Amino acid sequence: MKPGHGSSSRSDGQIVVPVFPLPNVYLFPGCVMPLHIFEPRYRAMIDDLLDKPGRMVMGTILEGRVDSDGNPAVLGIGGLGEIGRHERLPDGRYLIWLVGLGRVRIEEVESPRPYRQVRAEPLREIDVVPAREPALRKRVQAALALRCPDFPKLPPDLPLTHLVDLLTQKIRMNASVMQELFCETDLERRTERVLSEHACHPIVSAPAPDEGGSADPGASDCGS
């Protein structure tokens, strides 16, 4: 494969990977997101990735904003994922299952390919003070019991950060609030904010987006 295709890494931990921009889509760590890839440039992206580690960033489109090249602007924090499974359909489309690896800070770089690429830097999460973790966990578990039918099947030792992310995805909230929550690296602040959102939002499901490929965030599996 020619240099610049797929993904590449640097010694400082930063990597250059394709970005797949979609509106209202967030790839959370530990989640599995099913994607239908049908636009030609993104089919080429998957072709390239299957010859590499298979990593890409899900970028959240910022509605109504464009970058200097006229492309839809994306949120500065994205979800790094790895293709865990794929199926190539007879007409060249792909069905893939993308496993969330972590939040990353992204900066767009020049791409020699028809799809966009970004430099991705891992984000470090600030843990909850151990003495306060049990009480926060209990409150999040109570909220999930109301919003997530599969809650009893979740592992009892699932990290608090994954529980909070799962609860976040179960609440239909303002786009700006979701962006703030996704970008928040202080776990205690994120937990308190999502619990506040839980208290003032009804229990409903969200629609799925569709652009160049499609995702169904409501179908994401965060129990693994």
Do 16 and 108 lie in one domain? The reply is: yes
CA 67 from centre of chain: 21
Q: How do the pLDDT tens digits run along the chain, 224 residues long?
A: 334 456 555 545 789 999 999 999 999 999 999 999 999 999 999 999 998 889 999 999 998 898 878 889 999 999 999 999 999 999 999 999 999 999 999 999 999 999 999 999 999 999 999 999 999 999 999 999 999 888 888 888 999 999 999 999 999 999 999 999 999 999 999 999 999 999 999 876 544 445 466 564 334 444 43
Closest CA to 79 of 61, 106, 52, 97: 106
CA distance 109 to 157: 39
Q: Could you tell me the residue range of the domain that residue 93 belongs to?
A: 8-123
In the prediction, which pLDDT does 224 show? 33
Do 87 and 36 lie in one domain? The reply is: yes
Do 145 and 49 lie in one domain? The reply is: no
CA 56 from centre of chain: 10
Task: State which of 123, 156, 171 marks the end of a domain.
Answer: 123
Q: Is residue 223 part of a domain?
A: no
Q: Using one digit for the tens of pLDDT, what is the confidence trace for 191-209?
A: 999 999 999 998 765 444 4
Task: State which of 72, 101, 123 marks the end of a domain.
Answer: 123
Do 115 and 140 lie in one domain? The reply is: no
Do 108 and 81 lie in one domain? The reply is: yes
CA distance 176 to 145: 26
Assign residue 46 the CATH number of its domain.
Answer: 2.30.130.40
pTM of the model: 0.83
Q: How many CB atoms within 10 Å of residue 153?
A: 8
Do 61 and 136 lie in one domain? The reply is: no
Rg of the chain on CA atoms, in Å: 18
Contacts of 182 (CB under 8 A, 6+ apart): 26, 28, 60, 75, 77, 103, 168
Q: What percent of the chain has pLDDT over 70?
A: 85
What integer best gives the mean pLDDT of the chain?
88
Specify the number of domains making up the chain: 2
